A = this chain, B = another copy of it.
Amino acid sequence: MRIVAADTGGALLTEDYEPVGLIATAAVLVEKPYRTATLSVVRYANPFDYDMSGRQAVKDEAFLAVELAREVKPEVIHLDSTIGGVEVRKLDEPTIEALTITDRGKEVWKDLAKELRPLARRLWEETGIDIVAIGKSSVPVRIAEIYSGIYTAKWAIDYAREHGKVIVGLPRYMRVELRPGRIRGESLDSREGGLFGEVEAETDGIGWELYPNPLVRRYMVLEAWRE
């Protein structure tokens, strides 16, 4: 199976580890044996001006995933929204009403569907590729999350090179490592069976430290600075 998935993660943090805004939306192409991405793309947000409601993230993910999918022609697109694996092109009002989610979630999806349903329908009509809102159950979505963390580290390096120093929070239970010419990221959850990713990056002249976020158990913090 060839699957495209997208997810948004990584946050700029204050000195007190308070989140300022999210940093990176990553879309990935995942193929057997489903442990890493064959291909990845990123779209950076402006963390200093970020809508933390979560609605923006799902839209960014859908559009970036569709862009990648039109290029690499997967069998299906996985989005990180847990509404039972429904195809997004089928999300009319009665279908949304019938979902076993909160009333608040239904309102959000009625709003999201206005933009995402036409997007999904067009993609399906033109390519036969479906977008499914499978959420946390999908391994490709988790791999996209790991890549959003790796790209967050890349963003942090560039930011530190320009501004001197930065603190970012990575997505849940993952770590990154700056190596010569690249950044490697790995899941810290042994139950996931060894998910990881790698992205090329200029890491020279950057000092860094990775440690647990003291305020949010199971999330790591990356500090980077110009040396």
Contact = CB atoms under 8 A, between A and B. Distances in A.
Interface of A: 1, 3, 16-17, 30, 32-35, 134, 136-140, 142, 172-173, 175, 188-195, 209, 211-218, 220
A217 B173 contact: no
Contacts of A173: 190-191, 193
A12 B187 CA distance: 28
* Copies of the protein in its oligomer: 3
A34 B139 contact: no
A212 B216 CA distance: 27
Contact of A139 (B30, B136, B209, B212): B212
A137 B193 contact: no
Contacts of A215: 134, 137-139
A209 B35 CA distance: 13
A186 to B, nearest CB: 10
A217 B172 CA distance: 14
B195 A212 contact: yes
Nearest to A142: B217
Given A33-B211, A137-B215, A192-B218, 6 more contacts: A1-B214, A32-B211, A34-B214, A137-B216, A139-B217, A175-B193
Nearest to A172: B191
